[in-house]
Amino acid sequence: MIWWPSQTPTLADGLITLRLLAERDIPDIYSGCQDPLIPKFTRVPPDYTMDHAEFFVREKTPTSFAQKSELAFAIDYGNGADIDFAGVISFHTINLTDHLAELGYWISAGARGKGVATRAARILTNYGFETMGFERIEARVDVENLASRKLLLSLGYTLEAILRKVSCRQGGRQIDMALYSMIRDEWKEMLN
CATH number of the domain to which 63 belongs: 3.40.630.30
pLDDT at 180: 98
Cβ neighbours of residue 110 closer than 8 Å, sequence gap 6 or more: 84, 86
pLDDT at 181: 98
pLDDT at 170: 75
- Please tell me the distance from the alpha carbon of residue 15 to that of residue 187, in angstroms, as a whole number: 22
Kindly report the pTM of this predicted structure: 0.95
Is 6 within the bounds of a domain?
Answer: no
Cβ neighbours of residue 169 closer than 8 Å, sequence gap 6 or more: 175
Is 191 within the bounds of a domain?
Answer: no
Number of separate domains in the chain: 1
Single-letter residue type at 101: A
| 3-state secondary structure (DSSP) of residue 9 | coil
DSSP one-letter code for 44: S
Q: Which residues of the chain have pLDDT under 50?
A: none
Question: Which residue range forms the structural domain that includes residue 61?
Answer: 11-135
- Please tell me the distance from the alpha carbon of residue 168 to that of residue 85, in angstroms, as a whole number: 29
Cβ neighbours of residue 168 closer than 8 Å, sequence gap 6 or more: 174, 175
Nearest to 149 by CA among 165, 160, 135, 164: 160
Other CB atoms within 10 A of residue 82 CB: 7
DSSP-assigned states of every residue in 141-183: EETT-HHHHHHHHHTTPEEEEEEEEEEEPGGG-EEEEEEEEEE
Is 192 within the bounds of a domain?
Answer: no
Q: pLDDT tens digits for 69-107?
A: 999 999 999 987 789 999 999 999 999 999 999 999 999
pLDDT at 141: 96
Is 186 within the bounds of a domain?
Answer: no
Is 179 within the bounds of a domain?
Answer: no
Is 188 within the bounds of a domain?
Answer: no
8 Å CB contact between 68 and 97: no
Is 148 within the bounds of a domain?
Answer: no
**Helices and strands of the chain, counted as H and E runs:** 7, 8
